Amino acid sequence: MATTLTRPRQGAVIAGVCAGLAERFGWSVFVVRMLFLVSIILPGSQVLVYAVLWLLMPRRPY
C-alpha cells in the first residue's frame, strides 16, 4: 500500500485519480472506478472533485 496520495504513471485510464486512490487505501481499482461511474448518476459535484484531485494529486515520479 502506498503511503502518499499520488497518481501512478502506469494503470491510469484518464488521469490516474481512481488508481491513485485505490492504491493509497488498498482498494480494488475496478471497485473505485465503478463507484465513481455509479456516483455520476447521483446529483452532486463528483466530476468537479475528480478535476480538483487531478490538479492537486502529484504525478508519481517513477
Read off the pLDDT of residues 15-61 as tens digits, 9 standing for 90 and up: 999 999 999 999 999 999 999 999 989 888 898 999 999 999 999 88
Whether pLDDT at 2 is above 90: no
What does DSSP assign to residue 1?
-
Radius of gyration of the CA atoms of the chain, in A: 11
Tell me how long the chain is: 62
Number of domains in the chain: 1
Residue pointed to by grid coordinates 478535476: 51
Which domain, by its residues, includes 29? 1-62
pLDDT for the residue numbered 10: 87
Half-sphere exposure of 24 (CA within 13 A, CB side): 15
pLDDT tens by residue, 6-25: 898 888 888 999 999 999 99
